C-alpha cells in the first residue's frame, strides 16, 4: 500500500524513542498480569483494598496480556492502544472510587501508550498532526 504523501516517515530517533516509551507500559502490564496470575499476598491485599474479589484476577490478567499483545503488533497497535486506554480508564476509576492517590499511575501509563505509538507510527501522526 503506498504511503500517504502527507505523512512523514519515522526517523530512526523517533522510532527508537517510541519503542522505548512504549516498552515502559508494556513491561508494567506484563508484570502486573504475572502478579495477578501468581496472587502473592500484596496483590490479594490490594484487591481487597480496592473492593475487588480475587476471583477476578485471572480474567484481568488475561485481559492485560491480550491487550498488550494487540498493542505490540504494528498492524493492530492503534486498536491495542484504544483497548489499553479503556483498561487504564477502569483502573483509574477504581482507584479514584476508593480515594487512592495512586490513580495517577494508570493515567501516566495511558499517556505513555499513546506517546510511544505516536512517535513510532506515521499513520497516527498523520491523523493527529502537531503543528509548529
In a domain, 117, yes or no: yes
Task: Report the pLDDT value the prediction gives residue 9, as an integer from 0 to 100.
Answer: 72
Domain count, the chain: 1
Instruction: List the alpha helices (DSSP H) in 9-103.
Output: 12-38, 41-50, 57-72, 77-97
In a domain, 65, yes or no: yes
Task: Report the pLDDT value the prediction gives residue 1, as an integer from 0 to 100.
Answer: 43
Q: From CA 108, how far away is CA 62, in angstroms rounded?
A: 22
* pLDDT interval class at 126 (50, 70, 90): confident
* pLDDT interval class at 107 (50, 70, 90): very high
In a domain, 129, yes or no: no
Section 43-72 average pLDDT:
96
Please give the residue range of the domain that contains residue 60: 25-122
Cα(first)–Cα(last) distance of the chain, in Å? 29
69-83 pLDDT tens trace: 999 999 999 999 999
Q: From CA 117, how far away is CA 126, in angstroms rounded?
A: 12
9-30 pLDDT tens trace: 778 999 999 999 999 999 999 9
In a domain, 102, yes or no: yes
* pLDDT interval class at 8 (50, 70, 90): low
For the CA atoms of 105, 110, 111, 116, the dihedral, rounded to the nearest 10 degrees, stands at: 120
Helix (H) or strand (E) holding 117: helix 104-120
Section 107-113 average pLDDT:
97
In a domain, 95, yes or no: yes
Task: Report the pLDDT value the prediction gives residue 128, as an integer from 0 to 100.
Answer: 83
In a domain, 36, yes or no: yes
* pLDDT interval class at 6 (50, 70, 90): low
Mean pLDDT of the chain: 91
In a domain, 64, yes or no: yes
In a domain, 57, yes or no: yes
Amino acid at each position: 500500500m503506498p504511503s500517504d504523501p502527507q505523512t512523514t516517515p519515522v526517523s530512526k530517533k523517533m522510532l527508537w524513542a517510541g519503542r522505548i516509551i512504549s516498552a515502559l507500559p508494556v513491561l508494567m502490564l506484563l508484570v502486573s498480569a504475572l502478579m495477578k496470575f501468581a496472587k502473592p499476598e500484596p496483590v490479594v491485599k490490594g484487591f481487597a483494598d480496592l473492593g475487588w474479589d480475587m476471583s477476578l484476577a485471572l480474567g484481568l490478567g488475561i485481559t492485560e496480556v491480550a491487550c498488550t499483545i494487540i498493542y505490540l503488533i504494528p498492524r493492530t497497535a492503534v486498536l491495542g492502544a484504544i483497548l489499553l486506554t479503556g483498561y487504564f480508564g477502569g483502573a483509574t476509576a477504581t482507584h479514584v472510587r476508593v480515594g487512592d492517590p495512586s490513580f495517577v499511575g494508570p493515567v501516566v501509563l495511558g499517556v505513555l501508550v499513546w506517546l510511544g505509538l505516536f512517535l513510532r507510527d506515521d499513520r497516527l501522526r498523520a491523523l493527529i498532526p502537531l503543528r509548529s
